[in-house]
Amino acid sequence: MTGRLSTFAAALVVARRDFSAILFSRSFIFFLLGPLFPVVVAALAGGVGQKVQESTARPQLGIVMQAEDAAAMIRAHDALARRMGSGLPDFVVVRRLDPGESFDPAAALKGPRGSSGGNLAAVLSGTPASPMLTGPPERIAAWAGPVSLAAAQALGRGPAAYPAVRLSDTATSKADQRSDHVKTAQSGQMLLFLLTMLLAGMVLSNLVEEKGNKIIEVLAAAIPMDALFLGKLFAMLAVSLVGIAVWGIAVGGFTLLAGNVLPQLTEPAVGWPLFFALGVLYFASAYLLLGSVYLAIGSMATTVREVQTLSMPATMIQLVVFFLASFAMTQPGSPIELAAVLFPLSSPYAMLARAAQDAAVWPHVAALAWQVLFVAIFVRSGARLFRTRVMKSGPAGGKREKRGLFRRRRPA
């Protein structure tokens, strides 16, 4: 029996010590008030969300008509688009019907992004003389006028002879569902990013403080360095989860008081319970990944000024990672989304967005395992860097010691 704790047991000791010291300190109250400032900034920067929304595919109007009628509507659309611009929806031919063939227009709206593989929001059927729009009520009501104008152009009629457009209401189309899911995914990503950036910096300040008063050297001499890093990471994660729970209760109470005044988000593809559970897991993963990077940075810094200098590149890289995940969210199934999922720092944001848009669960299990692997790699690398740079041990120190002994043995 050597009396030395195992890595896991030592990590629990460090985590319990740091958690109790922070949670029962007076500064924790001010820490809970910290999110008020990023919330104000997020409200002022709401225009960023609009940019993400504009990057989604433009809704299309599918055409299900006889081949001659469909071609006439496409020609009319091309002639009017040069003058109307964005006021005219995009026309796409979904199906060219044979003489006497019947087809249910609502069937074209079923399946992912419509059965044609596009981004269908409504379907135009019938004939140019008697067109019929099928789709969500708000969509077909807005498109009735442009469709009537295009039908008159296809028939070669004058301004006084616009065909009447019949409207057939359906449930929400796949284009509208995707747009709503993108809003939910964007909101989840933004919240995850703000919480991670706000809370991950605590590990830096805690480490630099203990390096300044030499406590870190005492701990490093008593327990494995990996345990020290793990204990600090999990202690800060536990404190962060306590803060998030307090903020969540406050937001929930405010939501109940506000009633329907606040905007309502569409239910994510995996459902709200699983989405919240995945949000907690991905926050923990993002926090541990970024926190391990910050711990490695803190091991190279001795003052607060050095911490600020070294952490600035990491913060900028994290912003780039967030923008990468935000762009990948609008390109599901593309190589850019796969890259965002595989890159460990952007993986939590990309996978949380996927949970809002795709109901599959198994990719999240694989992604969490992948992220845990990189947490272990980052912690081990940071511990070795700390041991080399701060504790002055390892191969570099050994070489310097040998050179010093050699010089002392040289004859005078």
Give me the pLDDT at residue 398, please: 43
Give me the pLDDT at residue 365, please: 93
Residue 408 lies in a domain: no
What is the C-alpha separation between 103 and 208, in angstroms, rounded? 70
Structure-token pair, residue 37:
């400032």
Residue 186 lies in a domain: yes
Kindly state whether residues 295 and 151 are assigned to the same domain: no
The number of domains in the chain is 2
Structure-token pair, residue 385:
């860097």
CA distances for 124 relative to 79, 93, 105, 176, 179, angstroms: 18, 9, 8, 17, 21
pLDDT grade for 87, boundaries at 50, 70 and 90: low
Nearest to 234 by CA among 295, 175, 180: 295
pLDDT grade for 55, boundaries at 50, 70 and 90: very low
pLDDT grade for 407, boundaries at 50, 70 and 90: very low
| Most confident stretch, 23-27, 110-114, 403-407 | 23-27
Q: How far is CA 69 from the centre of its chain?
A: 44
At 372-382, the pLDDT tens digits run: 999 888 878 87
At 188-244, the pLDDT tens digits run: 898 899 888 878 777 777 776 666 666 776 776 777 777 877 888 888 889 889 888
Residue keyed to tokens 């409504």: 122
> Residues for the chain: how many in total?
412
Kindly state whether residues 123 and 243 are assigned to the same domain: no
Domain range for 106 is: 58-172
Give me the pLDDT at residue 41, please: 59
What is the C-alpha separation between 170 and 140, in angstroms, rounded? 10
Last residue of a domain, one of 121, 147, 172: 172
Residue 408 has pLDDT above 50, yes or no: no
Residue 47 has pLDDT above 60, yes or no: no
Kindly state whether residues 363 and 219 are assigned to the same domain: yes
Kindly state whether residues 218 and 342 are assigned to the same domain: yes
Q: What is the mean pLDDT of residues 73-79?
A: 88
Kindly state whether residues 192 and 160 are assigned to the same domain: no
Residue 318 lies in a domain: yes
Last residue of a domain, one of 172, 193, 215: 172
Last residue of a domain, one of 148, 172, 196: 172
Full DSSP string of 36-73: HHHHHHHHHTTHHHHHHHHTSPPPEEEEEEEHHHHHHH
Nearest to 57 by CA among 141, 168, 175, 136: 175
Give me the pLDDT at residue 278, please: 93
Residue 325 lies in a domain: yes
Residue 142 lies in a domain: yes
Kindly state whether residues 203 and 99 are assigned to the same domain: no
Give me the pLDDT at residue 364, please: 94
Average pLDDT of every residue of the chain: 77
Give me the pLDDT at residue 139, please: 81
Kindly state whether residues 197 and 218 are assigned to the same domain: yes
Give me the pLDDT at residue 406, please: 40
Give yes or no for a contact between 97 and 68, defined as CB atoms under 8 angstroms apart: no
Structure-token pair, residue 49:
């969300």
Contacts of residue 345, Cβ cutoff 8 Å, sequence gap at least 6: 286, 289, 290, 293, 317, 318, 321
Kindly state whether residues 258 and 304 are assigned to the same domain: yes
Kindly state whether residues 238 and 313 are assigned to the same domain: yes
Kindly state whether residues 226 and 267 are assigned to the same domain: yes
Residue 88 lies in a domain: yes
